[in-house]
Amino acid sequence: MSKPPELYWLKNKNDNGNDICVDKMEEGKFRILEFGTFYPILNSGYLIDNSIAEILQRYVPEQIEFIKKVTVWRKATNEEWNNYSEIKIKHHLDLQQFENAKFDGYRIYHLMYNHIYVSPKLKERLTAECEKVNELEFAKERPLYAS
């Protein structure tokens, strides 16, 4: 039996499920549907804080289809936040593929299109270089539904 991959689930620390709910209105603009907490990772990992995006662009650009800065807009107050980027990761894993995923070097994956997973080496760079590192958690586990 092979050793399970050493991948880390990149998620928000202290996430109580009260993050903002957004909807893509147009290219580069997301509307807040339900107001909540602004975490570094939003919308199942499709929106990430710009500080995370910069590190990913530096270390795994070939594994990312695109990263685009976006505006998050709250209609009720006409407030805007410009500190997020939309990301589309090239490599998607299902539960079967997860067990055989490569984790050497710098790697990033989307598991089941909902969760971002990173290799140990990419985790090291995020930990060392990301200004939001105190708001992030690197869990060495799969989501509950994937167990």
pLDDT surpassing 80 at residue 126: yes
Structure tokens at 24: 């893509």
User: Measured between alpha carbons, how far is 114 from 112 in angstroms, rounded to an integer?
Assistant: 5
CB 85 within 8 A of CB 69: yes
Structure tokens at 79: 């407030």
38-54 pLDDT per residue, tens: 999 998 789 999 999 99
- Range 97-123 average pLDDT: 87
59-80 pLDDT per residue, tens: 999 999 999 999 999 999 999 9
pTM for the structure as a whole: 0.87
